Amino acid sequence: MKKVFTLLGLLIFFSFPVSAASFKIVALVNGEIISSEDFQNRVNSFVMNTQIPLTPQTRGMIMQKVLNAAIDEKLKIQEAAKNGISITEDEIEAQIGILEKRNKLPKGQLTKALKEADINPQTLHEQIKSDLAWLRLIRKKYYQEGSLTQKEINFALQEAQKDLNTPKFLVSEIYIKKEHAKNLSDLVYNLRNDDRFGIYAMQFSDSPSAANGGNLGWVNTGKLPSALESRLNKMMAGDISDPIQVGDGYYILKLNQKFDPQTDKQPSPSSQEIKTMLENQKMETLSKKLLQDLRQKAVIEIRS
């Protein structure tokens, strides 16, 4: 991926509201523009949706996250279009209706709320378009590769049964690459003073688990790097660790629960639960690999 990156310029430029009259190009993604107005709309949307305030402690992380998300959105829509996938305005409006029902909002209230928060509703439309197109593309590629076999499902069921007899941790993670690890102490401070670990993981983590709010589920002893497991053994349920360096990045862990097969019991998963889990895992792996390939091939120019 060809990239020219000057985040400092972005931090200075977006320290104050941006008007349409001050139009600038923030980034070019394979020739497509991300404008200053679009970027500011996304920052406003991020703050509204996550309720994470734009403060000196969070500003750098938020700007980086919003920029990366905007770039990925362009790449997803571009790749979907190459594969003949398009999303209609009716589909987008239907999804907005689902969001309103899920949040118990009257019809049209979401658009009104966006405008009141100084967010162009078109920003939400583009994000929904990207999500729907990408999901459709990943499903298409998944089924082209072939569906799960009963043998795979049966094997996973057997492994799950063995798993119920193994000590484990219910843990969530935030993984930050070294090149992004400039505000770790601020991040840990926020995590320990704000109980929405999952929201922070979704927005700031560089791990694929970010899509699930950093939730790793139950992890068997012996499966994590020794530095992480050693720290978890010393933690109590609800604790959040200091940053732990492993390889080329840092982990911040939240221990949700410990499982001891001698005293705790869990129900065996059903065949359908196992099938759903395996399908989600395969599609997540496919999604991650495809997006990584697109980033490497893309021509991305980020301007100050």
SS3 labels along 269-302 = CCHHHHHHHHHHHHHHHHHHHHHHHHHHHCEEEE
137: its two tokens: 């593309």
Q: Please, which residues have CB within 8 angstroms of residue 287's CB and are 6 or more apart in sequence?
A: 134, 138
**Sign (positive or negative) of CA dihedral 285, 286, 291, 297:** positive
Buried b (16+ CB within 10 A) or exposed e, 45-82: bbbeebebeeeeebbbbbbbbbbeebbbbbbbbbbbee
Pairing of strands 249-259, 168-177: antiparallel
CATH topology of domain 165-259: Chitinase A; domain 3 (3.10.50)
Mean local confidence (pLDDT), 52-71: 85
pLDDT of amino acid 15 = 42
80: its two tokens: 């979907």
pLDDT of amino acid 19 = 45
Q: Please, which residues have CB within 8 angstroms of residue 4's CB and are 6 or more apart in sequence?
A: 301, 302, 303
Per-residue pLDDT band for 304 (boundaries 50, 70, 90) equals: low
- Percentage of the chain exceeding pLDDT 70: 92
Per-residue pLDDT band for 70 (boundaries 50, 70, 90) equals: very high
Q: Is 229 exposed, middle or buried (0-12, 13-18, 19+ CB in 10 A)?
A: middle
Buried b (16+ CB within 10 A) or exposed e, 240-273: ebebbeeeebbbbbbbbebbeeeeeeeeebeeee
Per-residue pLDDT band for 75 (boundaries 50, 70, 90) equals: very high
Per-residue pLDDT band for 180 (boundaries 50, 70, 90) equals: confident
106: its two tokens: 């009257």
pLDDT of amino acid 271 = 87
Q: Give the lowest-confidence range in 229-238, 244-253, 257-266, 283-292.
A: 257-266
Choose between 167 and 14: higher pLDDT: 167
**22 pLDDT above the threshold of 70:** no
pLDDT of amino acid 16 = 41
* Domain parsing of the chain, residue ranges: 2-146+288-302, 165-259
**9 pLDDT above the threshold of 50:** no
Per-residue pLDDT band for 239 (boundaries 50, 70, 90) equals: very high
pLDDT of amino acid 212 = 76
Average pLDDT, the chain: 86
Q: What is the pLDDT of residues 252-274, one digit of tens each?
A: 999 999 988 878 777 778 888 88
Mean local confidence (pLDDT), 59-84: 92
Per-residue pLDDT band for 251 (boundaries 50, 70, 90) equals: very high
Q: Which H or E run contains 113?
A: helix 109-116
**6 pLDDT above the threshold of 60:** no
Distance CA 201, CA 32 (A): 29
pLDDT of amino acid 153 = 92
pLDDT of amino acid 270 = 85
Architecture of domain 2-146+288-302: Orthogonal Bundle (1.10)
Mean local confidence (pLDDT), 115-129: 91
185: its two tokens: 């102490």
